[in-house]
Structures are given as structure tokens and as C-alpha cells.
Amino acid sequence: MFGYDDKNKYLILIFILGLILRIFVSFYLEDTIYWEDGFDYDSLANRLLEGKGFVSDDGTATAFRAPLYPLFLAAVYSIFGHHFFVVRIIQCLIDSVTLLVIFAIARFLYDKQVATISALIYGIYPLLIYSANTFFPTTLFIFLFAISVLLVLKLKQKATVFGSAFWGFVFGISVLTMPTILTFLPVALVWLFFAFEKKGRKFAFNAGAIILTMVFVLSPWLIRNKKVFNKSLLITTNGGYNFWMGNNPSTKASTGNSVKIPDYLSQQLSEAKSETEKDRIFFQDAFQIIKKDPLRFIHLTIIKALNLWRFYPSPDTGYKIFPILSKILSVMTYTPISMLALCGFILCWSQKREVVLLLLLFISLTMTYAIFITKVRFRLPLDPYLIILASYSINTIWEYWKNKSD
């Protein structure tokens, strides 16, 4: 489909195309924030610049949001000033560089033709173009996690303690951007265990390097939280809130976090003395709800898992611009990609052991979100790997018809 003698010509053109499409949307938008969570991230960044630290509006310490994206915004603001347009342009550039990382992953798994198709689809994929212009950590996370996936794949090819430590470092930064990815760590380690030709000591050294480096990256934030809240916690204090939102009596598959908190719970929360105590109250109430009807919890988890993979955004939180167009484009692009990805997975299952890692990635994140809440934008970090599998299908079909015509 693409000539091997063209070197990187097609990739450069695809990179430019992807960047232009993203920047085009940036120019269309006004210099403001359209999305609800974006106001929180922007406020955190401003307070960091003011020297107040990672605090909420009332000046109290917070860990409700993961720290890296507010730090990213603060860094951009400190250099270029408080301009939303500049943030969007930088995120467009980051997402275009991610296109190159996806190319590298696809080339590692398959060949240059599949990699080029993957890069092209990624470059013109509407939801990714849209996401690059939002004030969510999604674009930054997709970039960091793509590097992480590439590194763990390369560990199978050549495992070194340095390479493992570097993967742990990048993975740790990814966790500080989007903590839910932590559930991918154990499945990645299991995959590496079976992928290594010589297990035992070799795996132990590499796994140790991964975990120690990741803990090193996370430790400043963990120590800060322990000092501030006088309690050990992972990355954020929004787990209880999201768990309750995903399992309360009013929750449906696509409800998201649009449920009104009942009066009795609001009263308990108003009496809470800290953010961590509010987190605990949400968890406790949600567990009581689940205990009363465990079968509903199982059913709800299953349908929320399916909702993560739906063909258009629902709930449409954040889609305040192009609400209808975003759904149409999502259906038109994601639907064939998901179908082709399934075909690609089946076609290469017996030939490529590496696709098991992608399967484990899909399962781990799906089940993590299904226990809490699911939205299509939560699935976006997985779409690049669907694109790679779909590209394999496209290339296989192309080669089949080309050979048949010859």
C-alpha cells in the first residue's frame, strides 16, 4: 500500500496533516474554557503559580485531582502567560508527536505499512482531534502512556534493568496524570513474566527495577498527601465520589456523574472535617447500597463496561461544542475501527503474542472504569490500540486483493 523506498515521507506528511487538523480546531475555539473539569485544572494551575500550593478554592489542601496536568498547565502559563489558545496549541503538538509513537508501536508489532496506516488514522481521528483541544489530562496521558506501552513491548525484546527502570519512570508519570492506569501494572508484569525466555532471577530484577522506580516517581506526591492529610492514600481523593456516582440507586449505564447527592449524604459530607473523610463517606455509603442489592451491582458493572465501548459519547459531559457533530463523527469513525480491530485481533492472535498485552490493557481499564463510572472520553486512551489492530485488518485486506488481482 505504501512504498518502502519512500523512507519517512509519508509519516512526515501525516504528522503535518494531523497537526494542521488539530490547530484548525484551536483557531475555531474562543480563548476560554468550555469544559467543566477544565475550570478545576485551570484554578489549580493558577494557585500553584500564586505560590499557594495544591489547594482548593477555600485555600485548603486538596488531592481531588491528579497533580501532573495542573503542573503542566502551570508550567505553560508561567512561560507564555494565561492564554488558553497556547495550551491548546501545545496539546495539539503533543498529540501529533503521539502519532509518531503510535507509528513506532505499530511498526514494532507488525510492519511499516501497518504503522503508516495507523499513523494516518490516528492523525484524522475526530475524537482525538477534539480531545487535544480540551482542558482534560487525556491528551497528555495518551502521549505518556503510549511511550510506556512502547517501552514495555521493547522489554520483551531486550530486557535490561535500565530499560525496566525507565519504563517504571514513565509509567509513574502516567499514573500521576491518570491514576486509573495503575491497574495495568500487575497485568503488564504478568505478561512480562511469561514473555521472558528466562524467568526467575531475570524477571525479579526487572520487576524490582520497574516497581522501585515507579514508587520513586510517586513518592513526593504520596509523602505530601501523608503529611497534609495525616493519612496514606494513593493518588487522589475522588475515588469515593466516583464510586458512589457509579453505584447509587439512580445510576444507569450512561449516567456518569450527573446524579444529585441526596440530602442525608449531603448532611454527612457537610460535617466532614477533611477531603479524605468525605472520600470515606462516599465509599461507605456506596458499599451499603451494594450490600443491599449485590446482583444489581454486578449487572450495573457489566452494562457500564459495555457503555465504555459505545459508538458515540454518552453522557456527553464536556461536548458543549459540536454536540451533534461529535456523535455523528464518532459513529462514522469509531464503529468501523472497532469492527476492524476485532477482526485484526482474531487474525493475528496465533501469530503475535504481543497482542495479548493489548487485550490485558483493554480488560484492565474496562473493569476499572466499570466499577466506578464510564464515559467515552475515558476510553480514548485505548482507541490508539484499536486503531493499530484495525490497521492490520486494512493492510491484510489490501494485500489479499492485491495478490488476487495479480
- pLDDT tens across 243-290, in order? 999 999 999 888 878 789 999 999 999 999 889 999 999 999 999 999
**Is 320 a residue whose pLDDT tops 80?**
no
Banded pLDDT at 314 (limits 50, 70, 90): low
Q: What is the pLDDT of residue 87?
A: 97
User: For 11, left (φ over 0), alpha (ψ -120 to 50), or beta?
Assistant: alpha
Q: What is the pLDDT of residue 248?
A: 94
Q: What is the pLDDT of residue 277?
A: 94
CA dist 34 → 40, 56, 121, 215, 329 (Å): 12, 20, 26, 35, 20
**CA-CA distance, 91 to 135, in Å (whole number)?**
9
**CA-CA distance, 313 to 335, in Å (whole number)?**
12
Phi, psi of 291 (to 5 degrees): -60, -35
Q: What is the pLDDT of residue 201?
A: 76
Stated pTM of the model = 0.93
Amino acid at 268: Q
Give the closest residue to 144 by CA, choosing from 402, 384, 395, 388: 384
- pLDDT tens across 111-130, in order? 999 999 999 999 999 999 99
**CA-CA distance, 399 to 397, in Å (whole number)?**
6
Mean pLDDT of the 150-157 span: 91
Grid cell 459519547 is found at 313
Mean pLDDT of the 218-231 span: 92
Indicate the SS3 state at residue 55: strand
Least confident of 64-68, 224-228, 351-355: 351-355
Q: What is the pLDDT of residue 249?
A: 93
Residues pairing with 65 in the sheet: none
- pLDDT tens across 26-60, in order? 998 888 887 778 999 999 999 999 999 999 988 89
- pLDDT tens across 170-214, in order? 999 999 999 999 999 999 999 988 887 666 777 888 899 999 999
Grid cell 518502502 is found at 4
Phi, psi of 365 (to 5 degrees): -70, -35
Give the closest residue to 334 by CA, choosing from 128, 109, 103: 128
Give the closest residue to 356 by CA, choosing from 141, 200, 121, 152: 152
For the chain, the domains span: 4-236+293-405
